[in-house]
């Protein structure tokens, strides 16, 4: 895994490498991307990570806020955790880990954290990358125990 940048380390503490949109884009699941485009009314659904120019989240509030305040991650802000981040963490099951992730990034640094997350979000049977909502591995069919 290339850890030369923070592209897959969301400012909020999410790991982009296990996002269903990111996985579908990187793994070539065009039908899912077309379904998402139609469901959301956008022309194209594509993502290369939260810190990339091609981000599914588009003009992310947290990314703009962190840039304005001169921090790389929300947890580096004196106002952490702000109410918007708290609310964001409660709107989807996969977001409940942002505070735990942020603490881990603070402890070991973003490069090591990205390595850990890359290992964590793989099928235990075949090693294929998986998303946080996969119930089975799309490569080998192994049933997964996730969120």
- Our CA dihedral for 108, 69, 6, 8, rounded to 10 degrees, sits at 100
In a domain, residue 28? The reply is yes
In a domain, residue 112? The reply is yes
In a domain, residue 24? The reply is yes
Examine the pLDDT at 139 and tell me if it is beyond 50: yes
In a domain, residue 53? The reply is yes
Which residue shows structure tokens 């490569």?
139
In a domain, residue 141? The reply is no
Examine the pLDDT at 2 and tell me if it is beyond 50: no
Helices (H), the chain: 20-27, 30-40, 61-69, 83-89, 98-108, 110-120
In a domain, residue 9? The reply is no
Structural domain range at position 43: 16-120
Domain count within the chain: 1
In a domain, residue 128? The reply is no
Q: What's the pLDDT tens digit per position in 102-114?
A: 999 999 999 999 9
In a domain, residue 109? The reply is yes
Examine the pLDDT at 86 and tell me if it is beyond 90: yes
């Amino acid at each position: 895994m290339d850890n030369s940048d923070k592209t897959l380390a969301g400012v909020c503490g999410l790991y982009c490498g296990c996002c269903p949109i990111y996985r579908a884009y990187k793994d070539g699941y065009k039908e899912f991307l077309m379904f998402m485009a139609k469901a959301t009314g956008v022309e194209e659904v594509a993502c290369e990570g939260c810190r990339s120019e091609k981000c599914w989240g588009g003009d992310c509030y947290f990314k703009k806020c962190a840039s304005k305040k001169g921090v790389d991650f929300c947890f580096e802000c004196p106002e952490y955790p702000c109410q918007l981040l708290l609310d964001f963490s409660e709107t989807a099951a996969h977001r409940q880990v942002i505070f735990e992730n942020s603490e881990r990034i603070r402890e070991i640094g973003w490069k090591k954290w990205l390595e850990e997350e890359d290992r964590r979000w793989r099928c235990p049977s075949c090693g294929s990358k998986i998303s946080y909502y996969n119930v089975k591995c799309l490569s080998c069919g192994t049933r997964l125990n996730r969120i």
